[in-house]
Amino acid sequence: MSPRGPVSVLERHTFDTLIDVRSPAEYALDHIPGAINCPALDNEERHIVGTLYKQQGAFEARRVGGAMVAANIARHLRERFADQPASWRPLVYCWRGGMRSSSVVQWLRLVGWDAQQLAGGYKAWRRHAITLLETICPQLPLRVLCGPTGSAKTRILHALARQGAQVIDLEGCARHRGSVLGTLPGVTQPSQTAFETLLAQQVEGLDTSRPVYVEAESSRIGRLTVPMPLIRHLRASPCIEIQAGTSERLAFLLRDYAHLGDDRAALVQTLGTMRELHGQQVIDRWQAWAAEGALQPLFAELMALHYDPLYARSQSTHLYQWAQRQPVQAENLTDEGIARVAQDILVLP
């Protein structure tokens, strides 16, 4: 057995399994990357115990909750932990390193496993994630990929990663494409805390002596807010502009956003939110095209009347090194063309 003292967040990688014993609802909201959920109390049980604590006091809450925790631990021993060897070393956490995780650790140790408790629980991880974003983000040698809508910035970012570059995928963490039509089909955005956890996980492994590529974004991606230490540093960092022809961009959008034609009613509704920006006549025309599934004329006008003017206004305002940007030409935006653009970016001085 290793020492019994609670384990710090920085030591979590030295264990075989990270176990989150909070309720499924707490786990779904956010959890430490890589943790599995083996709740000491499920959602309903946690509600019952909390109500008892408020109405009848700590003793009654512990009496009833203790029986529930014991039953759940027994089930985990029979099912989730049944095949673990004697040498298994799990690290267990709850909300703040309290009774739920200590109860599970005690039972796992009685079996003979070298179970340890995470000091401070999830709240310690949350403080660690915030500190990572506040301290590491300003040190990163960011290179900001810019380009009007349809210039395949996200795909180029992924191509850079495949070619060995360091990247921060803001839209991937946010599960959103960052524009008015950026909702991904069948995908729900994470909570704000889970978004920050995903960003902290990406930032934690970066080498600050090598360039880090990131896509230019506003401070909000869908309903999520990019942490201020990152957005401030992004705006002050050198820019690389992807330059692609209008026809190539339109062809790329028609391929990449083809799914919008699968739910025409939703597309019509989304376009309606832009009425104040473009007026009744323009929105009526766009909604008619959306209802017909006529994406080519719709996207062509969205580029000309909405996205390109917005891009022209926003870059010089929000990106402080925009005037010194380095241009990279994209002859085409096929998979092969995107890979070539990534290669060209990697050899920039």
Q: Give catalytic residues, as residue numbers.
A: 94
Q: Give the H/E segment covering residue 205.
A: none
**Distance in angstroms (rounded) separating the CA atoms of residues 203 and 226:** 13
Please provide the size of the chain in residues: 349
The C-alpha angle with vertex 68 and arms to 67 and 70, in degrees rounded to 5, equals: 65
**Distance in angstroms (rounded) separating the CA atoms of residues 279 and 213:** 37
Question: The tokens of 332 are what?
Answer: 């085409």
Count of beta carbons in the 10 Å neighbourhood of residue 48: 16
Residues 288, 214: contact at Cβ < 8 Å?
no
H helices present in 205-294, as ranges? 228-235, 246-256, 264-272, 275-292
Q: Which of 135, 183, 150 is nearest to 307 (CA)?
A: 150
**Distance in angstroms (rounded) separating the CA atoms of residues 275 and 282:** 8
Residues 146, 240: contact at Cβ < 8 Å?
yes
- The backbone region for 202, taken as left when phi is positive above 0, alpha when psi lies in -120 to 50, beta otherwise, is alpha
Count of beta carbons in the 10 Å neighbourhood of residue 220: 13
Q: Which of 142, 95, 121 is nearest to 7 (CA)?
A: 121
Q: Which of 137, 139, 155 is nearest to 147 (CA)?
A: 155
- CA dihedral of 80, 86, 88, 94, whole degrees rounded to 10: 60
Question: The tokens of 274 are what?
Answer: 């832009």
Pairing status of strand 142-146 against strand 17-20? unpaired
The C-alpha angle with vertex 320 and arms to 212 and 225, in degrees rounded to 5, equals: 65
